[in-house]
Amino acid sequence: MAINYVRFQKDKQIDWAKFAEGKVYPLGLGDMDTRKFLEFSKTESANIGSKSYKLSEVSLLSPISSPCQIICQGANYKQHLIESGLDPDDKSYNLFFTKSDASLTSPVGEVIRPKHVKLLDYEIELGLVFGKSIDSYTEVNSQNISEYVAAIFMANDVSARDIQLPQLQWYKGKSYRTFLPAGPVLAVLEPGDFEILNSLELTLLVNDRVRQHDTISNLVFKPEETITELSSFCNILPGDVLLTGTPSGCALRAPGKMLQKIAGLLSERKKWELFVKGQSKRSQYLQPGDVIHSFIRTADRRIDLGDQFLKVVQGL
């Protein structure tokens, strides 16, 4: 069964802890990075002592530390493909992009909307943490995936759509500071846990209203084939992460096919001006004061990645 850990701060000191039955049991490791912590979790038995804290007594931090490589998959759920204006039957490729590790932030706190951004969007995702280096083509399957993926966590791939799309800058539009809330739980997996990953349910609410809900079973490109493909063009180190895509329900909606045809006749500048103007009418985009609550878990709680609570604030 997966073992849950959290990274936290208390009295200006950072530590790792085992998380069980709603309590935080410090391990006395100090501010150890994710890569070293994964090594520790393999060789040491993290026995919990008598000292513990309530969640309300500590500040939860991202269990993913920098520096690390953050690889992402785009449009990896069928319904999200459709709402992105793509035909699921025509998409035969795995879409990859990256985020800056400067975007990493705590799972409980604030998401800052930069002052020049108007179309701020949310994307709940399951994150995989690599536990083994890959520096050549590697065939990953259900039998050996546990050799390469050490842990999982929850992520929110926050995106500035008016930067990402009109400027064709996915990296910048998805990498502003606080644009990757991660955690709270780092679930270190055992081989048998991979069999139940498909049962994980992802749910994201904005102001207590469900915006996204789906299960990992609906991924278009599964982790095994994705990591196999990644190995053909990307070197991976322990502590690097893969975000596996977001379900439908984002604020972004692709214009209808007729509007897309008309836009094709316009200049690039005019086309994107109309895009931003049209998207600005959608009330689903995040506004200062909005509260995002998200969680990923199986129905029986055998795997539970905790809860994120985030408030959107306006940047200066």
pLDDT of residue 77: 93
Name all domains of the chain by residue range, CATH numbers in brackets: 3-60 (2.30.30), 70-314 (3.90.850.10)
What's the CA gap between 247 and 250, in Å, rounded? 8
pLDDT of residue 45: 60
The residue among 10, 12, 14, 18 whose CA lies nearest residue 185 is 18
Q: Output the pLDDT for position 92.
A: 82
Rounded Cα distance between 121 and 286, Å, is: 6
Query: Exposed e or buried b for every residue in 114-148, given b needs 16+ CB within 10 A?
Result: beebbbbbbbbbbbbbbbeebeeebebeeeebbeb
C-alpha radius of gyration, the chain, whole number: 20
* Confidence (pLDDT) at 50: 76
Q: From first to last of its 316 residues, what are the pLDDT tens digits of the chain? A: 899 999 999 999 999 999 999 999 999 999 999 999 999 998 766 566 679 999 999 999 999 999 999 999 999 998 888 777 777 777 789 999 999 999 999 999 999 999 999 999 999 999 999 999 999 999 999 999 999 999 999 999 999 999 999 999 999 999 999 999 999 999 999 988 999 999 999 999 999 999 999 999 999 999 999 999 999 999 999 999 999 999 999 999 877 666 666 666 778 888 889 989 999 999 999 999 999 999 999 999 999 999 999 999 999 8
- Specify whether the CB–CB gap between 104 and 66 falls below 8 A: yes
C-alpha to C-alpha distance for 196 and 49, rounded to whole angstroms: 30
Nearest-10 Cα torsion for 182, 189, 76, 289: -20
Backbone φ, ψ for residue 152 (5° rounding):
-130, 160
**pLDDT value for 1:** 84
Give the pLDDT score at 82. Answer: 79
